[in-house]
Structure 1
């Protein structure tokens, strides 16, 4: 088996280090800097010729981290890496997966083309906002879900299962909520029916399902401005929910998102580390790591073993 080399850009080095710690390897040496005019400079500082390489890079914020990823891939390709697997914990531009208006791009497809052209041989990502993005690549694509980590944390909270309801903030996420509800113990689910008057604005309409006097857990893949979750929590409270918790995979936390969460009825917001918090924090926020899940997938890919048991 070829030697494994794992590299990281600047988007989420902390997660990359946790992944390497789980696998038991050192993070590869790479130099990534900026010229005075802002151009990205990359140099791989160790031999990768004939090696099985992995690049860990979330694409948020997308402008700088996506371009940084592409340049790292080009550097590895030109350094004769045998295989390059791109590990994208959070896939940016995933919400631009179709033409929903005239004269608009399909940016998620463009990003897929750029990553492929830059030299990727395989993609590993987590909780895509639009799962059909896998079809934008003519490459093997392993799509993981954060559900095992989320379920483990929910179980550790020792909720009274007789009062627990899993809630999807919109009909499109109902499948994900149903899967988690089933794994916890065939819990009932509810769905928030909302209408979005314009991008980044959500208007909650009504709740489909019984949440009165229940402890509800809101499940979502992305929290951006916080409008969806805060609005959903308000509607759930108005419909009699006793306690409200939320689990979200990708914490973009844009604008005044934290204030919305602080002002909402949500008791605790549990997020993963696909995107680093940096200076954004709140007493309501708890971070759980997906490092072991991604690390196990990387090991199996390297050893040419099945990763299907990681998909739930």
Structure 2
């Protein structure tokens, strides 16, 4: 299995610089906000989103170095993603993220909400300073989409009538919008054609959907240690993902358990067993694979390069997390 480290070897130096710059970008004068940011950016993670921006930037600027605006876009992508995680963890009442205590666990809810808001605001300010209206519009859309996705997820808790299309729409808003719009923005900064910009958007959209569907499968098949949170936590909180929605088509009793919000002893364990005993996980794998293939298709017109190859292999990497 390819590791994220070897996959991103062509942009290793870019990612090191990105990590250094992120802490400086936050530069909060308030020590607690700065400590919260240090805690976030020090928690590791694969830096998948900025890596995609940097790979696309280099793939669309062959024989030239990428610009400071490309680098700043990658940094802003990670800032927006991190801000969304802080708020996500508060809403989900998660105590751990990547095995490390979450911001609200360490600093309290009030500081965590403000830290997330601060990161969104700081990202918006730096975004405006890119002086590129198209890019500003693309990344502003992401922040709007993220809020829309959170609202949809909140309104649809324990809703057994939720369709796969509605699930994919919410997944786009919460996860894939950032990858889609930042991929397109990287191309815009490189001066690609409008047609190529759309294909880069499609790449980010499909890779984002595949990534989140895999995450949703791992919520059932991964161990608590590897997930950094308890397995089955999405289902427990009423967030119905692809494996559950597919399982509901086969297992009518699952609907009863979900609609009473696992109120009785053993309900959650029974629900997890029903999902496992259905075709839900298998069909979700096929859905993730479909989107990964679509992502690769979107790159056919990009000139061959190491960075293009890494973007193609990234689709395999996303799926390989399942095995």
Larger strand share, 1 or 2: 1
Instruction: Quickly name the TM-score band, shorter chain normalised.
Output: 0.3 to 0.5
TM-score by structure 1 length? Answer: 0.32
TM-score by length of 2: 0.31
Identify, as 1 or 2, the structure richer in helix.
2
Higher RCO (Cα < 8 Å, 6 or more apart): 2
